[in-house]
């Protein structure tokens, strides 16, 4: 058994690995090396157990009915909301809206706040390194309203803040910016971006899909107006996420979807809406996954983000150093402040070929445009090979990646 005191000094990676059953899998006859953590992390046993426990012992619909199961399910669901509030340091539980994930959170803001507040000629600013989920909702909104979408440019993975300052004006109504780039790993200076936006009178949405698992998130200190993240990238279940919004903004926003749960009173003439956060949670929510989000967040907090960050950054530096020694490799995105994501291309080799040949050795990386096509266009490439590291990855696994790459290149070139 694992002794708990082995965890106190640094990160006991072997002990952590034992908590992730999927890591015991064999892929193509080899032990799985899972380096696609920016897409989704594997789940620890406590999260899997909590899901089973929920459906085994508590399953009921929430906020309705006075029977015991309904009350217990509601208590679990709301406890998870509190855990999410604490995890990102929101000031109240009313500011925590359960969504399907980051994408739905951003769409919620676009469809409710956006439709109400954006007019013809208004401007919304995003960045060149956005995921499609933080581009398309704003394109749809801008097209509908006759508003203008602008992009902060980047160079070698770093946003050009001077260009950003030039884009800001009294026409700017919203700045929606990715906290950490999924394709490059860059940690963007959202504090400065938010301060500047607020000075111009604009609101700020932070896409926290990639940042929440790595960085300490304090939405009050950031002073962002909206913040969205997904459970499944923070070792939690898929299909659940959180949208944080400042209370006075959420209160003034029209509902997203109509249905049960989100109403106070319905007559044929007029419906009054429920209080926050329920106004934005129409229909039966994803109760099981929401309830288990708490387990995942507590798991991360217990292990300690700082320790994990230290470990992941070591892996990043180690992998980056070794990759640079492979002839023909170019690292895409060399920002000084990065999370554990390394994206690269190799001369005369298509990323997909590398992905296939690495998969054949049980190594899971992501290849392609990473849902960030405008960014790929900036670099003039169809896509990259991306390895992204989590708390359970090891240097030995990085070594396997390097060996796998060298063998692949020998076959391909």
**Total residues interacting with another protein, rule: CB under 8 A:** 15
- C-alpha to C-alpha distance for 185 and 229, rounded to whole angstroms: 16
Binding range to another protein, per CB under 8 A, among 59-67, 119-127, 193-201, 344-352: 344-352
Binding range to another protein, per CB under 8 A, among 267-275, 291-299, 319-327, 351-359: 351-359
- C-alpha to C-alpha distance for 140 and 130, rounded to whole angstroms: 15
Q: Applying CB under 8 A, which of residues 357, 365, 387, 405 lies at the interface with another protein?
A: 357
CB nearer another protein, residue 124 or residue 365? 365
Q: Applying CB under 8 A, which of residues 334, 360, 373, 394 lies at the interface with another protein?
A: 360
Does residue 304 belong to the site contacting another protein (CB under 8 A)? no
Q: Applying CB under 8 A, which of residues 93, 171, 350, 395 lies at the interface with another protein?
A: 350
Site for another protein in 25-84 (CB under 8 A): 28
Does residue 89 belong to the site contacting another protein (CB under 8 A)? no
- C-alpha to C-alpha distance for 333 and 178, rounded to whole angstroms: 15
Hey, what are 201's tokens? 């009178």
- C-alpha to C-alpha distance for 253 and 240, rounded to whole angstroms: 22
Site for another protein in 163-202 (CB under 8 A): none
Q: Applying CB under 8 A, which of residues 53, 72, 353, 399 lies at the interface with another protein?
A: 353
* 3-state DSSP assignment of residue 28: coil
* Element containing residue 283 per DSSP (H, E): none
- C-alpha to C-alpha distance for 379 and 330, rounded to whole angstroms: 11
Does residue 352 belong to the site contacting another protein (CB under 8 A)? yes
Q: Which residue has the tokens 């000075």?
A: 199
CB nearer another protein, residue 42 or residue 172? 42
- C-alpha to C-alpha distance for 243 and 392, rounded to whole angstroms: 27
Among residues 225, 231, 222, 217, the alpha carbon closest in space to that of 250 is found at: 225
Give me the least distance between CB of 356 and another protein, in Å please: 5
Can you name the residues that pair with 24 across neighbouring β-strands?
Answer: none
Does residue 359 belong to the site contacting another protein (CB under 8 A)? yes
Binding range to another protein, per CB under 8 A, among 83-91, 118-126, 279-287, 404-412: 404-412
Q: Which residues have C-beta within 8 Å of that of residue 253, sequence separation ≥ 6?
A: 112, 113, 116, 245, 280
CB nearer another protein, residue 125 or residue 349? 349
Does residue 367 belong to the site contacting another protein (CB under 8 A)? yes
CB nearer another protein, residue 168 or residue 354? 354
Binding range to another protein, per CB under 8 A, among 53-61, 213-221, 257-265, 359-367: 359-367
Tell how strand 226-230 and strand 241-245 pair up. antiparallel
Torsion angle, alpha carbons of 244, 248, 252, 258, to 10: 40
Q: How far is CA 43 from the centre of its chain?
A: 15
CB nearer another protein, residue 34 or residue 87? 34
Q: Which residues have C-beta within 8 Å of that of residue 214, sequence separation ≥ 6?
A: 180, 305, 308, 309, 312, 339, 340
Can 371 be counted among the known catalytic residues?
Answer: yes
Whether 243 and 113 have beta carbons less than 8 Å apart is answered as no
CB nearer another protein, residue 30 or residue 86? 30
Cβ neighbours around 135 below 10 Å, total: 22
Half-sphere exposure of 171 (CA within 13 A, CB side): 15
CB nearer another protein, residue 15 or residue 381? 381
Does residue 132 belong to the site contacting another protein (CB under 8 A)? no
Q: Applying CB under 8 A, which of residues 368, 373, 374, 402 lies at the interface with another protein?
A: 368
Give me the least distance between CB of 260 and another protein, in Å please: 36
Binding range to another protein, per CB under 8 A, among 52-60, 214-222, 300-308, 357-365: 357-365
For the chain, the distance separating the N- and C-terminal CA atoms, rounded to the nearest angstrom, is: 47
Q: Applying CB under 8 A, which of residues 22, 75, 221, 356 lies at the interface with another protein?
A: 356
Contacts with another protein, residue ranges (CB under 8 A)? 28, 349-350, 352-353, 356-357, 359-360, 367-368, 382, 407, 411-412
- Known catalytic residues? 371
């Amino acid at each position: 058994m694992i002794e708990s005191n082995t965890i106190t000094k640094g990160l006991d990676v072997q002990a952590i690995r034992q908590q992730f059953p999927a890591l015991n899998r064999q892929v193509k006859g080899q032990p799985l090396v899972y380096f696609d953590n920016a897409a989704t992390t594997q789940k620890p046993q406590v999260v899997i157990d909590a899901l089973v426990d929920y459906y085994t012992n508590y399953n009921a619909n929430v906020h309705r009915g006075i029977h015991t199961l309904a009350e217990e399910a509601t208590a679990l669901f709301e406890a998870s909301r509190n855990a999410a509030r604490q995890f990102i340091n929101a000031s109240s539980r009313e500011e925590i809206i359960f969504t399907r994930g980051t994408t739905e959170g951003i769409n919620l803001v676009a469809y409710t706040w956006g439709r109400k507040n954006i007019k013809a000629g208004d401007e919304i600013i995003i960045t060149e390194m956005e995921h499609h989920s933080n581009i398309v909702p704003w394109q749809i909104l801008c097209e509908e309203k006759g508003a203008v979408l602008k992009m902060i440019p980047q160079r070698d993975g770093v946003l050009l803040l001077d260009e950003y300052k030039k884009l800001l004006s009294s026409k700017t109504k919203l700045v929606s910016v990715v906290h950490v780039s999924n394709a490059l790993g860059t940690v963007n200076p959202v504090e400065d971006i938010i301060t500047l936006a607020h000075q111009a009178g604009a609101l700020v949405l932070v896409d926290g899909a990639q940042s929440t698992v790595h960085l300490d998130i304090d939405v009050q200190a950031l002073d962002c107006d909206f913040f969205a993240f997904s459970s499944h990238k923070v070792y939690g279940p898929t299909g659940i996420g959180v949208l944080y919004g400042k209370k006075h903004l959420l209160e003034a926003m029209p509902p997203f979807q109509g249905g049960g749960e989100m109403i106070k009173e319905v007559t044929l003439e007029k419906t009054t809406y429920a209080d926050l956060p329920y106004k934005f949670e129409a229909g039966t929510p994803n109760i099981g996954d929401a309830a288990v989000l708490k387990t995942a967040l507590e798991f991360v907090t217990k292990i300690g983000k700082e320790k994990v960050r230290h470990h992941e950054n070591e892996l990043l530096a180690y992998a980056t150093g070794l990759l640079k020694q492979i002839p023909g490799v170019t690292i895409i995105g060399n920002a000084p402040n990065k999370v554990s994501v390394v994206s690269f291309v190799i001369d005369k080799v298509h990323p997909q070929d590398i992905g296939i040949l690495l998969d054949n050795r049980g190594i899971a990386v992501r290849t392609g445009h990473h849902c960030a096509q405008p960014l790929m266009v900036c670099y003039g490439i169809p896509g990259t090979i991306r390895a992204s590291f989590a708390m359970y990855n090891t240097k030995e696994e990085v070594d396997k990646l390097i060996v796998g790459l060298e063998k692949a290149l020998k076959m391909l070139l």
